[in-house]
Structure 1
Amino acid sequence: MKKIRIFIYYLQELNYRLAYSVIGTLLLFSTTYIYKQSLIFLILPQGLSHFISAGLTEIFFTYMQLCTIISFSFGIILTVLQIYLFLRPGLFFYESKITLNLLIGIILFYTYLYLILFPLLVKFLWELFTTYSNNFTPIHLTFEPRLNDYLEHIQHLNKILSFSFPCLITLNLIQKYTKKILWVKYRGIAYIIVFSIAACLTPPDILSQTIVALPLIFFFELQIIFWALYQEYQKQLLIRQPIKTN
C-alpha cells in the first residue's frame, strides 16, 4: 500500500511539472502572437522594400506557423528542465552534475546559435542567392520574394541548426565507447550514414543535404585528427618521462 501511495505521489508531481511546461508553452505562444509582426520584422532581410502574398489565408497561417515554432522550441527546453527537476532527487551527485552541465551547455549553445550565428547565416544566404536572382542576364527578371516561401526556407535552416547539437553529442558518445581505429577503417560507411541523416533532415535536394552533411563530416574528421595528435602526444610524453632509480 505504501508503494502505491509513493507511486501516486510521484505520478502527480510528474503531471504537475508537465502541466507547468504546457502552460508555459501556451503563455509563450500567446506572447509571441501578440508581437508576431515584430518577430517577423527581425528575421526579414535588410534593405528589402516589400514581399508578396498570393493566398487569402497565407499571412494568418504564416503568423501561426512562426508562433508555433518559437513556442514549441522553447517549450521543449522547458519540458527538459522540468523532467530534470523531477529526476534530480533520485540521481547521484555526479549524475546530477553531468546532467546539469549538459543542460547548461544546451542552453548556451542555442542562445549563441539564435542570437549570433543564425542572423549571420540568414544574411549571408540571402545576399548569396539574391545575387543570382538580380543578375539574370538572358531576360529581364523581376525578383519579388514571397513571404511564405522565405519563412519556409528559414524554417528549414532552423531545423538544420537545431539538430546539429544532438548529432554532435551522439557522435561524441559513439566515439567514447568505440575504438578509434574503427573510425578510420569505416570512414566511407560513416559518410553514407551522415548523408542519410542529412537526407532525413533537409528538403529533397542535393544542396541542402550537402550543407548539412559537410559540417558533420568536418567534425568527424576533426575528431580523428585530434585522436591521432593525442596518441602522438601520449607517446612523446612516455618517452620523455624520467627513469626512476632507487
Structure 2
Amino acid sequence: MSTRTEGENPDHHDANPEQPEMPLVEHLLELRNRLLKMVLAVAICFAVIYPFANELYLWLAEPIRTLLPVGQTMIATDITSPFFAPLKLALFLSVFAAIPIILYQLWSFVAPGLYTHEKRLAFPLLFTSVVLFYLGAAFAYFVVFPLVFGFFTAIGPEGIVELPDISSYLNFVLKMFFAFGVAFEIPIATILLILSGATTPADLAAKRPYVVVGCFVIGMMLTPPDIISQTLLALPMWILFELGILFGRLAKREVEDPDTDEPPAE
C-alpha cells in the first residue's frame, strides 16, 4: 500500500527493502475492485429490501401516524410520491444495511499500509463508528420522534387539519437519522483529535463547560423548543464526549508504547 509519511521511524522503511512497492496502476485497480464490491453490496441489499418498501415506509411513519386524530392520514401531494418515496427509503436502507461491508472494503484497502499498533486501533474504531451510527438512528426513532411529532401535532392552531405529506416526512426523518447518527460519532471524533495531536485529553477536559453548553445548543437546534427533548439529546452527547476522552487516553497510551511500533505486514 502507500508509503509512510515523513517523520516516522526510518527503521520501518528499511524493514524489507527488497519488497517492491505496489505500482500506482495496481492501487487503482484494487480501489476499483473494492468500490465495485461496495456497489454490489448495496445493490444486493436493495434487491432484498425493495419488495418490502411499502411496509417499511408504514413502519417508519408509525411515530406520526399514531398521533394523528382518528380519520386523518398521511397524503401524497405529488402524483409520483407513492412510488418514489418508498423507492428512496429502500435505497437509503440499502446503504444503511451495507455500511459494515463498505467499511470492511475500505479497511481491507488501507490495512496493508498500517503498522501493527495502528491496526489494533483502526479496526475497533471502524466497528465502533458503525455501532454508534446505528445507535444514533435508533435513538432518534424510538426516543426523539415520538417527542418531536407529539410536540408538533399538539401545538398547531385549533381547526387546522394535519395531513403530513409522505415525501416531506421522509426527507425530515432521513435528515434526523443522519444528524443523530453523526452526533453519536462524538467519541470517535474525540479519539481521532487526540491521536492526531490536534488536542490532548487534558485540554478537552478543561473545555468541558463549553462542550456542555454546545451540546445543549445542538440539542436546541435539532429538537423542538422544549427542555425535555433538548436534554434527551444533549445528555447522550455529553456522555459520549466523556467516553471519547476516556478512550482517547487509552488509545494515546497504546500509540505511544514503543514496544508496539512494528512495520506493516507485507
TM-score (norm 2): 0.62
Structure 1 contact 24–75 (Cα < 8 Å) conserved:
yes
1:37 aligns to what? 54
2:193 aligns to what? 174
Q: Residue type matched to 1:43 in 2?
A: L
Indicate the percent of aligned positions where both proteins have the same amino acid.
17
Over 3 Å counting, the alpha-carbon distance change for 1:222 and 1:57 in structure 2 is: same
Over 3 Å counting, the alpha-carbon distance change for 1:78 and 1:9 in structure 2 is: same
RMSD over equivalenced CA pairs, Å = 4.1
- Give, in whole Å, the separation in 2 of the partners of 1:64 and 1:223: 38
Structure 1 contact 21–82 (Cα < 8 Å) conserved:
yes
TM-score (norm 1): 0.66
Over 3 Å counting, the alpha-carbon distance change for 1:225 and 1:27 in structure 2 is: closer
The structure whose RCO (Cα within 8 Å, separation 6+) is larger is 2
More helix by share: 1
Q: Residue type matched to 1:149 in 2?
A: S
Q: 1:26 aligns with which of 39, 43, 54?
A: 43
- Give, in whole Å, the separation in 2 of the partners of 1:63 and 1:35: 9
1:93-148 Cα offsets, whole Å, 9 max, x none, are 2222211211221233234344x423313223222322223xx4xx4222222222
- Give, in whole Å, the separation in 1 of the partners of 2:110 and 2:190: 25
Runs of at least 5 residues in structure 1 that lack an aligned partner in the other structure: 227-246
Q: Residue type matched to 2:238 in 1?
A: F
The aligned runs of 1:1-246 (5 Å cut-off) are 6-45=23-62, 47=66, 48=68, 50-114=73-137, 116-121=138-143, 122-133=145-156, 136=157, 139-174=158-193, 177=197, 178-179=199-200, 182-183=203-204, 214=234, 218=238, 222=242
Moved over 6 A (4+): 184-196, 210-213, 223-226
Runs of at least 5 residues in structure 2 that lack an aligned partner in the other structure: 1-18, 247-266
Q: Rg larger in 1 or in 2?
A: 1
Structure 1 contact 22–75 (Cα < 8 Å) conserved:
no
- Give, in whole Å, the separation in 1 of the partners of 2:114 and 2:204: 33
Count of paired positions: 217
Over 3 Å counting, the alpha-carbon distance change for 1:110 and 1:222 in structure 2 is: closer
Structure 2 contact 41–98 (Cα < 8 Å) conserved:
yes
